[in-house]
Structure 1
Amino acid sequence: RHRSDLPDPAGIGREAGERAVRKVAPGSLPSGRMPVVFDPRVGGGIVGHLLGAMTGPAIARKASFLIDRENEQLFDNGIRIVEDPLRPRGLRSRNYDGEGIASVPRALVEGGRVTRWLTNVASAAQLDLPLTGHASRGSGGAPGVAPANVYMEPGTASVADLIADI
C-alpha cells in the first residue's frame, strides 16, 4: 500500500460515523421480489463468491453453482467484470502466476456471461482446458487458483439514480 493512495484520517472517521448512523433504527420491508442496490462493500463479496465458482478446481470437483451454465446469460448485458493483474499499485498485481504463466488483463464476465473458467495446471488437465494464468501459490501444498485485481466496471447510472428508479 502507498500512503498517498490512502484517504485522510478525518475522511475515514466521517465515513465510519455515517455508516454507524445508518444502522440506527433500521426500517423493515414487506416480503417479496424487489430490486436491490448493493453497497460496494457487499458487492465485492458477491463477486468473490462468483469468482470461487469460476475456478477450475471447483468445476472439476463439481462443487460450483455454475456447472452446466457456461453459456447462460447470468447477469444483465451491461455487467462486465474485469481482471487486471498488471495494474500499477494493485494489491494483487503480478506479471506471472504461481506456475510461471504470463498474467494478462481480461474480462471474466462480458455481456452478462462468464467468459472462461480460471485454471491452474492441474485443473486445466482435468477439464481439458487451456491455462489461464491464475495459479496461486500459498505457504504449502499445490498451487490453487486466484484472480488478480478484479473489479466490476461502473455503469452509467449513479447510486442515487439507481435508488431513485426503485
Structure 2
Amino acid sequence: METIIPIKGKVKYKITLDPGVWIFDDRKVDLNTYFSEDQERGNALEEYTKSISKHWDREIMEGAVYPPTLKTEVKFEKEKVLTGTFGIPLKPFLVNAEPEQTAKNVVIEYGENDQVSLSLETASGLILGFSKDGKPLKEDGPLHVYYQDGSNKENPIKNVTGFTIE
C-alpha cells in the first residue's frame, strides 16, 4: 500500500499528500463529532480576528495570566491525539495545486481500478479521514474520503490511491 497520494491532472502544481504527518496539522477535525455537530463554516479570518480580540480584551481586563490548568490541557490534547479519529479538509490542498480554469471535476481513484468523479466545487468540501482510534488507516487506507454532509459516514470511499483534476 502506497501512503503518498498524488493530486495531478489539470493543475499548475502537482502535489503529493502524506497523511502520516497530518496528526500534527491544526486543520485536522475530529471525525467522531464533525458530522454530528452543527458546523459553523464561517470566514477563517473573521474567526481568527474574534479570537484574538477576545484574548486581547481578557489580557487588558485581567492581565496576562496563564490558567492553572494549562498542563492538564496539554496532557488532554496529547491523549486525544493518541486515541482520536481524525480527518482533514481537501480544499486547502486543491487551492495549493491551483487547478486550471478549464478544470471542472476531481476524479477520486481508489481500490484496484475504481473511480468516482465529483465537481470541483463538491470536491472542495470533502474530508479526508487519516486515522481511526489513534492509528493510521493501514488495512483500507491510507485515506478515507467523506462527503461534506456526512452522507457516506458509515461507508466512506476507501483505499484511495490518488486525485486527478479534469
TM range (shorter): under 0.3
RCO higher in structure (CA 8 A, sep ≥6): 2
Q: If each structure's strand is expressed as a fraction of its own residues, which one has the higher value?
A: 2
